[in-house]
Amino acid sequence: MSETNYHEDHGALADAPLIELVDVRAAYGTIEVLHGISLSVPQGSVVALLGPNGAGKSTILKVVSGLLQPTAGEVRLAGRVVNGAPADELARLGLCTIPEGRGVFPNLTVRENLWMATMAGVPLADVEEIAYARFPRLGERRKQLAGTMSGGEQQMLSMARALSVNPSVLLLDELSMGLAPLVVANLYEIVAQVSQEGVSILVSEQFARTVLGIAQYAAIVLHGTITRVGTPAELEDELSAAYLGS
Amino acid sequence: MQTFLQYTILGLAIGGSYFIAASGLVVTYTTSGIFNFAQGAIAMLAVFTYWQFRWGWNWPAPLALLMVLGVLAPLLGAALYQVVMKNLRGTSEVTKIIVPIGVMLGFQALATWVWNPTSSTPRQFQKFFGPNAFVHFGSIKVSWHEIIAFVIAIAIAVGIRLLFVRTRSGVAMRAVVDDPELLQLNGGRPERLAMISWAGGSFLAALAGILIQPMIGSAMSAGQLTLLVIDAFAAAMFGRLRSLPRTLAGALVIGLTTTYVIAYFPSKWTWSSSFRNSLPMIFLFIVLIVLPQDRLRGATVLRLRERFRMPSIRTAWIAGLVLMVVVFCLKVIMERTAVNTLTLALTFAIIALSLVLLTGFAGEINLAALSFGAIAVIVVYHFGTTGSGTDARTTLWGILLAAVVTALVGAVIALPALRLRGLYLALATMAFGVFVSRMVLTERNERDIFGLKFTIFTAGQLTIPKPKIGPFDFNSPDAFLFLCAGLFVIIGIGMVYLRHSGYGRRLAAMKDSPAASATLGMSVVRLKLSIFMMSAAIAGIGGVMMAAQIGTVNSDRFDILLSLSLMMITVVGGIGYISGALFAGLFLIAFVQMLDLTLKKFAVDYSSLEAIFLFFVSAVTVLPATIGITMGKNPSGAVSDIVNGLDQIKQSKSLVITLVGLEAAIWALTATDVITNWHFVILTMINLFIVPVIGGKVLLARAMRGVPKPVPPELIGIDRPFTSDDLAEMDRALDLEGVVVPSAGTVREGATGVSA
Ligand SMILES: Nc1ncnc2c1ncn2[C@@H]1O[C@H](COP(=O)(O)OP(=O)(O)OP(=O)(O)O)[C@@H](O)[C@H]1O
Ligand SMILES: [Mg+2]
């Protein structure tokens, strides 16, 4: 599918979003943390989840990625209900998740980490080519254990996976965690490019300003419910007052 | 020179087999984080199955090998993972250790059941290509079997290395250890990888067993074979359960040193064969001492599925009193043999208390409780008795001395391992237990140690008289019964006091997070050491009581497998509860014996059904292990279920009255000889265990009707107003009763501050 095609169809596709949550509830053990979440991510757009610590952003991503089964409601990917599908199956179908703070296997080398990414179906040679072209630093360190690399390099490695497995949906949790602002800006530049190529992206982020620069929509999560959804411009005032504290 | 070469080759072959078994341990530990204590038992089952095919049914060797190594062993491993081990994710280290031990004991019992050890025809297990297939290198001749063993070991070392580095599945197996969820997000299947690795680990165990059995040259014995592969543990530890090259090196060193001991120790040293047998354990011990300290871990053990509640001191006193009354009532109606069984059960309950103290309170593990009992018994035998013949008595000082000695021995054993994770202490104690069995309890000859003539385990058995403490003589069975019951109650109440003290709270803190405790300035090692010594002393006292009850004990009474059973059943009962220990003693001794006797009696009474009843008699031997294996599903133990059931019952006066009334009626019937002791026990079991559970369910169902669904605690205050009842309930759940709140106002404000 070409880029232009997608833009022309935007209106129609907005009706059939790639990710859709309908009244989703989820719990850890007996403690419910999501109390009815409804949200949709149109194809090729970036949707940002914003909210304080412990609001449930990561939990929403876990539910979409299949790691956590919702206790009620529906999760739909490309119109199909995927409640109960195991995470690995969704991953092989083109859903790529970069989890919070730990996107790499610390005791595997860079190359072995990329090897694991090939389980989604792309051959290792291609994965390596794309990864090293985008992040030359990784190419220099392919034999190094991922756990011994700097935080920024580790995040590059997990992003490299996201770029090379050719996903149709990308879930990003707190890409910025522990990174310098410049690196964060760089990573989100890449995210913006990826979304231009038609990938639908759901991202949870504390660096609200950075992510709002590239997101088409943002949802504010509070206490396990979504209190507000809108374009960044619509949410600007509310956010600076309530969330950014400025 | 010829001897040297000959034994070097044998040593390499045996070491190679150890390596094969150890590499299986490494593979399964890598993917599932579970140390497979059943590895030796799998090897043992494979040896017996192979024998059955090859010599029992005269199959050709390739077919038998294909069947055992290619089909049955991998299937067994995969099934073990799917049915049992998979459920252990998220449980505590204790459960992860106990469940494989349950599997091991189960296989052990199963093998004894299927292949009767007292069978008249001895089972011969031969080397590959028969006993006379040798190759000659100059003047030395080497059996093909040994060459095969060594070559296979090297091939496996290379093969596993290639698997882990050169194949995607192998790399994925390493990735599983790092982060199974992330692997899933990559599209991998961690569960399937773990299952495959268990199949592989089981294959390796089976291979090691078949290779090693003919090389040790003794008759096939289930117990010996199970423990033999435990020798491989030492090698696996040397590789820290990770590095295969180091595991290989460790295995070869063990193989070589053990064979050199046979070759070069003068034959007049009567202890060299025991020494050879305990060498791997000594080796394991040294490895533990030299292993670098683990990083302290705090966060990884969070959110366990186990939950224990300590009774208040008042409850403990009441429970103790009730127990004494119950014992008295039982004594009145019981036959002599039943009194003996009950007393023995109580002595085991005392030993089990030591496990509750160590594991339930501090989260550390001792797999050789009875070996500490053995040490105490040896001390009492030599230094703690007065009089002779029927006047012989154990003295109070003897018992105290035994407690002190066992505590000190405990300190020596535990010190090196306490810096490490719980698994290592468990292995160190197991090494100690096997060492005591193989080295100390086999010491029947008089030794001249620095001029002191001394026999440790005289004639293979020690006689321990009943104690006399001050003016109180406990020689009569009834008096001794009360002594044991009293001892259990006193130690139990003491432990409750301990748990409520500052020391006990520090223990609990350490159990939850060693790292956090260390940062608060606690000396974790000192805390662990003191608790381990206390626990060893209690085990020692219990051991002396057990020996005194039996009268004359031989070394089988302190067998490591019995220690493991006791540990397992205590965990089943509830390792965090004093009553869990009581459950363990009663179950392991009284209940199993009663079932056994009852079934045998039925087999005689109803001779047409004899075969069925005898089948069940055998099944009873597998029962404790089977129950142990189910722990993965309910890690808090059976007692917690019963306690929860009782909790609901307490709210219903009618049910309490029913229970007590029924029990009194059963007792009265027995006291007036209307029904026998057997009926009494069975009816009591039904009354005490089954009625509360059913009653609880009925009550709960009735209570649920009309009552709105309970609101999850975090929503109280949102979905409905927060009441003072809720506060009391939370205080109770969090064990905060009696904690003084500085000022209610500030606490409330803090709470809203966090949630806003
Ligand atoms: N594995 C878990 N078990 C129990 N509770 C959990 C678990 N993971 C998260 N929670 C709880 O669920 C709630 C939502 O957590 P979540 O991680 O989704 O928050 P978040 O919005 O991502 O916060 P942050 O911005 O800090 O990452 C929190 O109250 C958290 O304590
Ligand atoms: Mg989060």
| Segment B164-174, tens digit of pLDDT | 899 999 999 98
Distances (CA, A) of A106 to B182, B197, B205: 11, 21, 30
Q: Which two tokens stand for residue A141?
A: 């360190």
Contacts of B185 in chain A (CB under 8 A): 65, 67, 87-88, 91, 96-97, 99
Contacts of B163 in chain A (CB under 8 A): none
pLDDT of residue B132: 75
Ligand nearest to the CA of A62: 1
Is the pLDDT at A200 greater than 50, yes or no? yes
CA angle (B581 as vertex; B107, B652 as ends), nearest 5: 115
pLDDT of residue A216: 92
* Contact flag B181-A107 (C-beta cutoff 8 Å): no
Where do we find the tokens 């000192």?
A: B526
B174 Cβ under 8 Å from any chain A Cβ? yes
Closest C-alpha to ligand 1, atom 2: A28
Between CA B152 and CA B173 the distance in angstroms is: 23
Q: At what angle do helices B653-671 and B638-650 cross, to 10 degrees?
A: 110
B711 Cβ under 8 Å from any chain A Cβ? no
Q: Which two tokens stand for residue B708?
A: 């709105």
Work out the pLDDT band at A177, boundaries 50, 70, 90: confident
pLDDT of residue A241: 59
Instruction: Give the distance from residue B673's alpha carbon to the nearest chain A alpha carbon, in angstroms.
Output: 52
Work out the pLDDT band at A240, boundaries 50, 70, 90: low
**A30 Cα to the center of ligand 1, angstroms:** 14
H or E element, residue B705: none
Best probe of the A interface among B182, B242, B300, by most A CBs < 10 A, is: B182
Is the pLDDT at B73 greater than 90, yes or no? yes
Which atom number of ligand 1 is nearest to the Cα of residue A56?
A: 18
Average pLDDT over residues B241-268: 86
pLDDT of residue B303: 42
pLDDT of residue B536: 96
Ligand 1 in reach of A62 Cβ (< 6 A): no
Work out the pLDDT band at A128, boundaries 50, 70, 90: very high
Of B118-127, B289-298, B436-445, B645-654, where does mean pLDDT reach its minimum? B289-298
| Long-range contacts at B379-386 (CB < 8 A, ≥ 24 apart) | B379/B405, B379/B406, B379/B540, B380/B464, B380/B544, B380/B547, B381/B458, B381/B462, B381/B463, B381/B464, B382/B454, B384/B544, B385/B464, B385/B465, B386/B468
Closest C-alpha to ligand 1, atom 26: A53
Between CA B511 and CA B526 the distance in angstroms is: 14
Q: Percent of chain A beyond pLDDT 90?
A: 45
Hey, which of A30, A31, A33, A100 would you mutate to test ligand 1's pocket, going by the most ligand atoms within 8 Å of its Cβ? Answer: A33
Contacts of B183 in chain A (CB under 8 A): 88, 105, 116
Average pLDDT over residues A151-156: 88
* Contact flag B187-A120 (C-beta cutoff 8 Å): yes
Instruction: Write the pLDDT tens digit of every residue in B388-413.
Output: 878 889 889 999 999 999 999 999 88
Indicate if the alpha-carbon torsion angle B10, B11, B13, B14 is positive or negative.
positive
Ligand 1 in reach of A176 Cβ (< 6 A): no
Work out the pLDDT band at B351, boundaries 50, 70, 90: very high
Ligand 1 in reach of A28 Cβ (< 6 A): yes
Please check whether residue B222 is in contact with residue B114, taking contact to mean a CB–CB distance below 8 angstroms: no
Please check whether residue B366 is in contact with residue B314, taking contact to mean a CB–CB distance below 8 angstroms: no
Ligand nearest to the CA of A173: 2
Is the pLDDT at A90 greater than 90, yes or no? yes
Ligand 1 in reach of A58 Cβ (< 6 A): yes
Pairing of strands A46-50, A31-41: unpaired
Please check whether residue B580 is in contact with residue B639, taking contact to mean a CB–CB distance below 8 angstroms: yes
**B297 Cα to the center of ligand 2, angstroms:** 22
Which atom number of ligand 1 is nearest to the Cα of residue A60?
A: 18
pLDDT of residue B115: 87
What stretch(es) of chain B map to CATH 1.10.3470? 1-263
Instruction: Write the pLDDT tens digit of every residue in B669-724.
Output: 888 888 887 788 778 878 776 776 676 667 666 665 655 555 555 556 655 666 67
- C-alpha count within 13 angstroms, C-beta hemisphere, residue B542: 35
Instruction: Give the distance from residue A141's alpha carbon to the nearest chain B alpha carbon, in angstroms.
Output: 17
Amino acid identity, residue A202?
L
Amino acid identity, residue B34?
I
Is the pLDDT at B301 greater than 60, yes or no? no
Which of B174, B184, B188 faces A108 most closely, judged by CB atoms? Answer: B174
Average pLDDT over residues A211-240: 86
What is the phi/psi pair of residue A179, to 5°? Answer: -110, 155
Strand residues in A64-216 grouped as ranges (E)? 72-77, 80-81, 95-98, 169-173, 200-204
Work out the pLDDT band at B421, boundaries 50, 70, 90: confident
Instruction: Write the pLDDT tens digit of every residue in B444-467.
Output: 777 666 666 667 777 678 889 999
Distances (CA, A) of A214 to A20, A165, A201, B754: 20, 22, 11, 31
Between CA B589 and CA B581 the distance in angstroms is: 12
What is the phi/psi pair of residue B385, to 5°? Answer: -125, 155
Distances (CA, A) of B647 to A28, B651, B653, B692: 26, 7, 12, 10
Q: At what angle do helices B638-650 and B691-704 cross, to 10 degrees?
A: 50
Of A197-206, B22-31, B216-225, where does mean pLDDT reach its minimum? B216-225
Please check whether residue B357 is in contact with residue B511, taking contact to mean a CB–CB distance below 8 angstroms: no
Which of A97, A107, A112 faces B185 most closely, judged by CB atoms? Answer: A97
Is the pLDDT at B589 greater than 80, yes or no? yes
Contacts of residue B337, Cβ cutoff 8 Å, sequence gap at least 6: none
Q: Closest Cα partner for B602 from B591, B592, B611, B589?
A: B611
CA angle (B617 as vertex; B613, B619 as ends), nearest 5: 110
Between CA B31 and CA B198 the distance in angstroms is: 9
B179 Cβ under 8 Å from any chain A Cβ? yes
Given CATH 3.20.20, say whether it is the number of domain B1-263. Answer: no
Q: What is the pTM of this model?
A: 0.82
Q: What secondary structure letter does DSSP report for B300?
A: G
Q: What secondary structure letter does DSSP report for B312?
A: P
Which of the two residues, B282 and A188, has the higher pLDDT score? Answer: A188
Between CA B535 and CA B532 the distance in angstroms is: 5
Ligand 1 in reach of A117 Cβ (< 6 A): no
Ligand 1 in reach of A33 Cβ (< 6 A): yes
Which of the two residues, B741 and B322, has the higher pLDDT score? Answer: B322
pLDDT of residue A127: 92
Which of the two residues, B206 and B460, has the higher pLDDT score? Answer: B206
- C-alpha count within 13 angstroms, C-beta hemisphere, residue B462: 32
Q: Closest Cα partner for B356 from B489, B535, B546, B487?
A: B535
Between CA B733 and CA B522 the distance in angstroms is: 26
Work out the pLDDT band at B282, boundaries 50, 70, 90: confident
Is the pLDDT at B190 greater than 60, yes or no? yes
* Contact flag A116-B175 (C-beta cutoff 8 Å): yes
SS3 B593: helix
Q: Closest Cα partner for B109 from B595, B562, B618?
A: B618
* Contact flag B171-A97 (C-beta cutoff 8 Å): no
pLDDT of residue A1: 38
Average pLDDT over residues B165-193: 90
Work out the pLDDT band at A13, boundaries 50, 70, 90: very low
pLDDT of residue B449: 63
pLDDT of residue B715: 59
pLDDT of residue B625: 76
**What's the mean per-residue pLDDT of chain B?**
82
**A176 Cα to the center of ligand 1, angstroms:** 17
Please check whether residue B173 is in contact with residue A59, taking contact to mean a CB–CB distance below 8 angstroms: no
Which neighbouring-strand residues pair with A228?
A: A220
Average pLDDT over residues A42-70: 92
Please give the domain boundaries of chain A with CATH numbers for all domains.
13-93+170-245 (3.40.50.300), 100-165 (no CATH)
What is the phi/psi pair of residue A217, to 5°? Answer: -135, 155
Indicate if the alpha-carbon torsion angle B279, B280, B285, B291 is positive or negative.
positive
Which of A99, A105, A118 faces B175 most closely, judged by CB atoms? Answer: A105
pLDDT of residue B493: 95
Of A8-17, B11-20, B114-123, B452-461, where does mean pLDDT reach its minimum? A8-17
Q: Which two tokens stand for residue B168?
A: 């995607």
Indicate if the alpha-carbon torsion angle A220, A224, A227, A231 is positive or negative.
positive
* Contact flag A86-B183 (C-beta cutoff 8 Å): no
Where do we find the tokens 């063993």?
A: B149
pLDDT of residue B137: 76
Rounded-to-10 torsion of CA A34, A39, A44, A45: -90
Q: Closest Cα partner for B225 from B238, B236, B212, B237?
A: B212
Q: What are the respective helix, strand and coil percentages of chain B, to the nearest 5?
A: 75, 5, 20
Strand residues in B459-596 grouped as ranges (E)? 461-463, 467-469, 472-473, 552-554
SS3 A221: strand
Between CA B665 and CA B662 the distance in angstroms is: 5
Instruction: Give the distance from residue A9's alpha carbon to the nearest chain B alpha carbon, in angstroms.
Output: 30
Q: Is A241 left (phi over 0), alpha (psi -120 to 50) or beta?
A: alpha
Q: Closest Cα partner for A92 from A105, A77, A103?
A: A77
pLDDT of residue B730: 66
Where do we find the tokens 């009089």?
A: B387
Average pLDDT over residues B123-142: 77
Average pLDDT over residues A104-110: 91
Average pLDDT over residues A25-47: 90
pLDDT of residue A7: 37
pLDDT of residue B710: 54
